[in-house]
């Protein structure tokens, strides 16, 4: 060991004991090297921020703490990001000095305000609109590699494709000449061990030579590129900016970045691709699903980045004493923020240790970092991962992991991917031999985060029955027979059928392997329900995303008044079932025009007879909503779903009740408001340090996405709340249908797909 080992945490003059597990933590050996997230499961549960004497760093294990660190880059400086985690011996240091090695600030380890000034100047090449044209090149490179081995039946994908494609893409993107590829690969490995590994003193000397040569090489490439002032690519752009103003894009930056970016843009993506292929082939059902439906690939890639990211830990240093996760940290504390551990935090990802390519919030992973330093190249990396997976699943769907291989990894704290990835397949079964169409790409993916509507399972209709005049009930099962995910009462699913996207609440038995929904045929509607009534016969298949739940049973209210209008009975029925099953107090009011047009009457009478009141306007028993609201017991809440007129009336009647009294679900929104258009305004983004102008015919969500900020979305019409962001200052013009009155009054959140800044005023978001 080359670093001194303090016996106790340094924050409290050695008086604070280090727990046995913290004492034993060593990131350079198993179990961390075998699986960093699993190795820190104990820390996520018991000691989320702990001092590691072995490393001399504070280790941060939970999602929220890691995000808090990324968010505040003034308190948590990135200055140590490229420092040697294992200091070099004197001999190795002298070797490095003999090469005039002077690795300094780039972007990733630069402090504010210099960092944001530089990042803003260098951002353009990374914007989604400016990345799309790289797709053809990525596709060509991947195809050529697959052509090279498809007839052989066996390949080491790392050796034969996955390191070289990302390196070539990176060099092309940067505008760096594509020669000396093997040398660059060796240099990259040396840089990784130099920065994040624990080389022995003898290895350090050899490393120092490799890293020194890499430094010299980077300088020579830079000089050559300077001779070509109009050259293409991001590094040429930086050279031009340096020529104009060397105080922002400095000389030292150029040389350091030339070396760092080759690694940042190449090894990260190569490892990510190897991890993804390995993970998907290990979870064969997921592999088969993406083979069958390439629309699933973007989210599958994102889930791979979450579950087994290629960057597993990053670093920061405190600039002042601060409390993190309940632990007091001194100024100058070095932190190892283990993003792989945050990505497996059950507090943020449900059943986080399950690999689930249908996970709706996979995109929230921390593998690209977060905030103002968040990976600039994330959308290029996503493009590469998607195309690699699309080509492999189309041309080699029968590929398997070679079961005899033992995976090895380069020991270091932060970069993770197998050294080799052997796969085998039966060449006689290569689909393109009989089907030349297999050579044609099935998909071109938009640049950016996965689109939520594409995270969809294939289902089969197993039963259809009329439950009232014009209302069909449907029972749906997973097409492959697997169980469907659990759902909460009030949840809905989105069906995608023949170009129609429609939402339906789940209303079957909780815990069943199948989902039940009911579809009202609206002859005067937009055509979707009429089409679904015709198309969804028994045996029909369809795509479904969700379930999503934005309409939850209040967990603690002493009494629930449930009010359903028309087809709005479906979520209300599921809520009533739940309240009955859990022995809670409730009353159920079901409003309709005529009994023969009211769904599930038999089931309602059977299961909820004592709590049920039918309000049938055709029988002169129309509901008196004012009486229902007034009859609500003290502290009771109302859950309602039905026509807009009914919801508006209830909103008016509960205007003076305590906030949180009325909970409603909307399925439609005002079409103009839903577009999110209006006066242009300016928005400052605190976490990413950007300032954007939101155009008159652009939603806030669109403007955020165009700037490369990942904001998840679902309905994109103000109904679900998925795209909500935190407002730090400004006056939101709320046009959504999800925020409660109190939430609107508080003014601290905004639904970005439809809401804007009032009257074109400036706004500041987190």
Binding-site ranges for ligand HEM (CB under 6 A): 70, 78, 107-108, 119, 170, 173, 264-265, 268-269, 272, 309-311, 314, 367-371, 373-377, 380-381
8 Å CB contact between 19 and 51: no
Q: In whole angstroms, give the CA distance from residue 372 to residue 687.
A: 6
743 is a contact residue toward ligand FES (CB under 6 A): no
713 is a contact residue toward ligand FES (CB under 6 A): yes
**Residue 58: contacted member of ligand FES, ligand HEM, none (CB under 5 to 8 Å, by partner type):** none
Cis ω before 136 (30° cut-off from 0):
no
Among the listed residues 55, 477, 598, 723, the single contact to ligand FES using CB under 6 A: 723
The span from the first CA to the last CA of the chain, in angstroms, equals 42
Shortest spacing between CB 272 and ligand HEM, in angstroms: 4
689 versus 721: smaller Cβ distance to ligand FES: 721
720 is a contact residue toward ligand FES (CB under 6 A): yes
Shortest spacing between CB 371 and ligand FES, in angstroms: 22
Q: In whole angstroms, give the CA distance from residue 73 to residue 365.
A: 19
**Residue 625: contacted member of ligand HEM, ligand FES, none (CB under 5 to 8 Å, by partner type):** none
**Residue 736: contacted member of ligand HEM, ligand FES, none (CB under 5 to 8 Å, by partner type):** ligand FES
Cis ω before 598 (30° cut-off from 0):
no
Q: In whole angstroms, give the CA distance from residue 34 to residue 174.
A: 33
Instruction: Give me the 80-109 binding string for ligand FES, x by CB under 6 A, dash otherwise.
Output: ------------------------------
Among the listed residues 325, 568, 718, 730, the single contact to ligand FES using CB under 6 A: 718
With a CB cutoff of 8 Å and minimum separation 6, the contacts of 220 are none
Beta-bridge partners for 311: 415
The residue assigned the tokens 């930056």 is 253
**Residue 721: contacted member of ligand HEM, ligand FES, none (CB under 5 to 8 Å, by partner type):** ligand FES
Shortest spacing between CB 81 and ligand HEM, in angstroms: 7
List the one residue out of 63, 33, 35, 37 whose CA is nearest residue 49. Answer: 63
List the one residue out of 528, 502, 655, 511 whose CA is nearest residue 578. Answer: 511
**Residue 276: contacted member of ligand FES, ligand HEM, none (CB under 5 to 8 Å, by partner type):** none
719 is a contact residue toward ligand FES (CB under 6 A): yes
Shortest spacing between CB 707 and ligand HEM, in angstroms: 13
Tokens of 131: 């990345």
Shortest spacing between CB 159 and ligand FES, in angstroms: 43
674 is a contact residue toward ligand FES (CB under 6 A): no
Q: In whole angstroms, give the CA distance from residue 275 to residue 267.
A: 12
Beta-bridge partners for 466: 472
Which secondary-structure segment (H or E) carries 222? helix 201-226
736 is a contact residue toward ligand FES (CB under 6 A): yes
What is the DSSP track for 672-689?
Answer: HHHHT--S-EEEEETTTT
Q: In whole angstroms, give the CA distance from residue 275 to residue 485.
A: 25
- The count of other CB atoms within 10 Å of the CB of residue 89 is 17
417 versus 678: smaller Cβ distance to ligand HEM: 417
547 is a contact residue toward ligand FES (CB under 6 A): no
Shortest spacing between CB 580 and ligand HEM, in angstroms: 48
Q: In whole angstroms, give the CA distance from residue 109 to residue 253.
A: 11
Shortest spacing between CB 328 and ligand FES, in angstroms: 39
**Residue 495: contacted member of ligand HEM, ligand FES, none (CB under 5 to 8 Å, by partner type):** none
List the one residue out of 517, 499, 500 whose CA is nearest residue 508. Answer: 517
Q: Using CB under 6 A as the criterion, which residues of the chain lie in contact with ligand FES when the complex forms?
A: 713-716, 718-723, 736, 738, 751, 753
């Amino acid at each position: 060991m080359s670093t001194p080992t303090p016996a106790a945490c340094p924050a409290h003059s050695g008086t604070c004991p280090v727990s046995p597990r913290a004492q034993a933590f060593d990131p350079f050996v198993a179990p961390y090297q075998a699986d960093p997230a699993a190795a820190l499961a104990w820390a996520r549960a018991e000691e989320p921020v702990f001092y590691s004497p072995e490393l001399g760093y504070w280790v941060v294990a939970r999602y929220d703490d890691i995000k808090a660190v990324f968010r505040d880059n003034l308190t948590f400086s990135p200055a140590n990001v490229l420092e040697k985690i294992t200091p070099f011996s004197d001999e190795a240091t002298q070797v490095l000095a003999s090469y005039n090695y002077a690795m300094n600030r780039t972007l990733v380890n630069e402090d504010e305000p210099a960092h944001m000034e530089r990042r803003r100047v260098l951002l353009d090449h990374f914007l989604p609109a400016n990345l799309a044209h790289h797709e053809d090149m990525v596709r060509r490179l991947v195809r050529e590699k697959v052509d090279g081995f498809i007839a052989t039946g066996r390949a080491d994908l790392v050796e034969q494709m996955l390191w070289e494609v990302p390196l070539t893409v990176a060099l092309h993107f940067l505008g760096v000449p594509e020669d000396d590829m093997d040398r660059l690969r060796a240099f990259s490995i040396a840089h990784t061990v130099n920065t994040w590994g624990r080389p022995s003193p003898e290895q350090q000397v050899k490393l120092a030579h490799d890293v020194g040569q890499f430094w010299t090489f980077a300088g020579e490439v830079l000089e050559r590129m300077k001779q070509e002032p109009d050259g293409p690519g991001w590094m040429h752009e930086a050279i031009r900016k340096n020529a104009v103003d060397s105080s922002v894009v400095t000389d030292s930056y150029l040389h350091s970045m030339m070396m760092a970016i080759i690694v940042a843009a190449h090894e990260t993506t190569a490892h990510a691709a190897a991890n993804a292929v390995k993970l998907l082939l290990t979870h064969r059902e997921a592999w088969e699903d993406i083979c069958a439906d390439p629309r699933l690939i973007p989210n599958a890639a994102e889930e791979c980045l979450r579950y087994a990211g290629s960057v597993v830990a990053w670093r920061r240093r405190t600039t002042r004493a601060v409390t993190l996760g309940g632990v007091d940290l001194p100024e100058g504390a070095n932190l190892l923020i283990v993003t792989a551990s945050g990505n497996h935090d059950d507090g943020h990802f449900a059943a986080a240790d399950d690999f689930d390519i249908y996970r709706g919030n996979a995109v929230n992973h921390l593998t690209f970092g977060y905030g103002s330093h968040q990976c600039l190249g994330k959308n290029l990396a996503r493009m590469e991962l998607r195309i690699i997976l699309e080509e492999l699943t189309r041309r080699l769907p029968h590929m398997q992991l070679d079961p005899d291989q033992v995976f090895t990894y380069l020991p270091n704290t932060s970069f993770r991917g197998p050294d080799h990835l052997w796969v085998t397949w039966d060449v006689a079964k290569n689909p393109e031999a009989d089907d030349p169409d297999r050579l044609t790409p099935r998909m071109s993916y938009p640049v950016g985060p996965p689109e939520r509507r594409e995270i969809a399972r294939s289902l089969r209709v197993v039963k259809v029955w009329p439950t009232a005049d014009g209302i069909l009930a449907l029972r749906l099962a997973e097409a492959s027979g697997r169980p469907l995910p659990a759902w909460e009462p009030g949840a809905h699913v989105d069906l995608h059928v023949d170009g129609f996207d429609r939402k339906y609440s789940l209303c079957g038995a909780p815990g069943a392997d199948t989902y039940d929904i009911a579809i009202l045929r609206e002859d005067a509607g937009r055509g979707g329900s009429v089409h679904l009534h015709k198309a969804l016969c028994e045996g029909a298949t369809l795509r479904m995303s969700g379930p999503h739940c934005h309409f939850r049973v209040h967990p603690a209210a002493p009494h629930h008044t449930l009010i359903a209008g028309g087809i709005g009975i479906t979520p209300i029925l599921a809520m009533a079932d739940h309240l009955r099953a859990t022995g809670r107090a409730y009353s159920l009011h079901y409003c309709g025009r005529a009994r023969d047009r009211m769904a599930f009457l038999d089931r309602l009478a059977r299961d909820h007879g004592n709590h049920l009141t039918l309000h049938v306007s055709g029988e002169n028993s129309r509901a008196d909503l004012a009486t229902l609201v007034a009859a609500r017991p003290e502290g009771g809440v109302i859950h309602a779903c039905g026509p807009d007129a009914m919801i508006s009336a209830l909103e008016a009647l509960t205007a003076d009740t305590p906030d949180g009294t009325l909970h409603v679900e909307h399925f439609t929104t005002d079409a103009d408001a839903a577009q999110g258009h209006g006066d242009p305004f300016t928005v400052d983004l605190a976490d990413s340090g950007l300032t954007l102008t939101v155009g008159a015919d652009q939603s806030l969500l669109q403007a955020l996405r165009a700037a490369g900020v990942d904001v998840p979305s679902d309905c994109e019409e103000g109904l679900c709340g998925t795209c909500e962001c935190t407002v730090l200052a400004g006056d939101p013009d709320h046009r959504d249908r999800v925020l409660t009155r109190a939430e609107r009054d508080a003014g601290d959140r905004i639904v970005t797909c439809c809401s804007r800044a009032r009257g074109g005023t400036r706004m500041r978001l987190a």
